Homo-oligomer: A and B are copies of this chain.
């Protein structure tokens, strides 16, 4: 079989006509399908019914330390929740503050705090002429939206199969004191599913930042979100790596149970050094009296311990695995031999990252939308929504039921083919 690039103009014209006819047929179906966001499916959420039986009218609402979780207090979170979230990150409870329902909110507030108050006594970033963040891309659109809202200049860092291009990271961080942060999703990265390699983590830990208030924003959103039991990639624990490298305060780590229990009704946490946490505490003690301790207690009593949480995630994997496998097999069958796209093959996380021919991503997403299939906006995975190659598309297969996912993928591959033919005919 010929790849599209090997075809003659006439062959492409004929193919185009054929694809257009199919596309018109698809549009006529009035589909309404969504592969845009990394939402758990309702099947994943259904499994949580027991979660609501953790308390009843005879419950003790006391934490391990005897605190009544129904009343005010315990700004850093109850001890057993700090332990559980610490286990998720592979760090001691003392290095954890448990917050509310959203790790994104913790990240936002962490950037905001640095803007207004500085970092452990440094000049507030809003008083500086220029603040820059490194943005491994493609990456998570909501990260980039935070730094954009605060007027922080974002620098694209290409992603490799081992994580961000470390030569570039070192060049920027070690030489430019305006570089104050880097966004990282180190495990099953959004959108590629990349797990940062040991070497990448070690090079990160051994950075020699020009700015003393440089921090790694380590969004460990998919720490335990494996698809396969026997094919999990280990991520080195970054906080101890940094400590060993003489950079004990260089990381903020974020995690949550948003995709373990419930998006919006889970528990989120910050992991960091004692010095960083003491500083954060000194600021947030004015912001709030405390977070939702009943929800913290509910989570701990439900899972009992980290093993309980890991077992629970095996059930999620059983639901998600067939969806990811369907994406990969459909892509392979339909366009594997056509030379019009490549994609990642993640073993965890929530996404597959698709690389179209340069200049085709926007067109593919628009065509899908017209045919009733919503994808993450083209460009969303890059700072300022600007994909320099107009090539990356994030596929989020978790939410739709598998039949709908199959239908959406049919539309997707058709639009990839059609947009690719159009692009090749332009040349």
Contact = CB atoms under 8 A, between A and B. Distances in A.
Interface of A: 37, 39-40, 42, 45, 48-50, 52-53, 55-59, 61, 68-73, 100-102, 104-105, 108-109, 112, 115-117, 126, 142, 145-146, 149-150, 262-265, 283, 286-295
Q: How many copies does the complex hold?
A: 2
Contacts of A69: 264-265
Given A102-B291, A264-B292, 11 more contacts: A39-B72, A42-B70, A45-B61, A49-B57, A71-B264, A104-B287, A109-B287, A262-B294, A264-B294, A265-B292, A295-B295
A315 B61 CA distance: 21
A70 B46 CA distance: 9
A291 B57 contact: no
Nearest to A57: B49
Given A52-B59, A71-B45, A100-B100, A264 B290 contact: yes
Contacts of A61: 45
B70 A292 contact: no
A37 B116 CA distance: 29
A263 B109 CA distance: 22
Contacts of A48: 70
A70 B294 contact: no
A166 to B, nearest CB: 29
Nearest to A113: B112
26 contacts: A40-B71, A42-B70, A49-B56, A49-B59, A50-B57, A52-B55, A52-B56, A53-B56, A71-B264, A73-B264, A100-B101, A100-B292, A101-B291, A104-B288, A108-B288, A116-B126, A116-B150, A142-B286, A146-B287, A264-B291, A264-B293, A264-B294, A265-B292, A265-B293, A265-B295, A295-B295
A264 B72 contact: yes
Contacts of A116: 112, 115-116, 126, 150
Contacts of A100: 100-101, 292
A72 B263 contact: yes
A126 to B, nearest CB: 6
A58 B55 CA distance: 16
Ranked nearest first, the 6 interchain pairs of A and B with the lowest CB-CB distance are A49-B57, A52-B55, A265-B294, A72-B263, A108-B287, A105-B288
Name the residue among A105, A117, A264, A290 with the largest chain B CB count within 10 angstroms: A264
Contact of A104 (B39, B149, B289, B295): B289
Contact of A70 (B45, B59, B70, B295): B45
